Structure 1
């Protein structure tokens, strides 16, 4: 699945979704499978949200290929196509690939620069990946 608009100035899931979409996705991931009414009830704890608004947003998430919808009698049940972890993994990888394709070595240099205060074990894993690439890349 491809998220078309990455928002640099936002944080967390709001980088990929609108604020209501992000809140709905969090609830869907927590529940694994849920109905519009269940989501609306849980959202209502913050401030009242119209059922039709929640339904519209959830159906748009289906149209975007982020949620799956199945009908159980008169109730529609929704679940995420992938786990939150898999979603974040896929989106961060696509973002990195797109940045590299567009800006090349500059992106790699900037990524390395931000590693100043990183855990040593991450640097060790990064070094292992680099060594693996060197061994398996034809010269």
Structure 2
């Protein structure tokens, strides 16, 4: 038995990596974050997630729905509309990733400074990589 909190990896593959691939793409966590306060319509998500295209939002929502992270509800009104909401499993994902998203926001300025320093250092002629 391992003394760490990391899940065991079988010889046949790395199942935890499959899950990390699902939630670790560029947009999934942002979608989950925007659903934290309840159901949202597609247009609300599109407006709230800076830089996401309509196609990529559609692909991300379908993937999260397939994996049981959110539900899609079609409302029979005129005109029809669709809303998305986190499932109970999706809510636990939101809780688990809230610290990572907060850390990202809090350290953005430091990351920008580190990148600028690195780029300046590596752009100088005669420097070894």
The TM-score normalised by the length of structure 1 is 0.46
- Whose relative contact order is higher, 1 or 2, with alpha carbons under 8 Å and at least 6 apart? 2
Q: Which structure shows the bigger proportion of residues in helix conformation?
A: 1
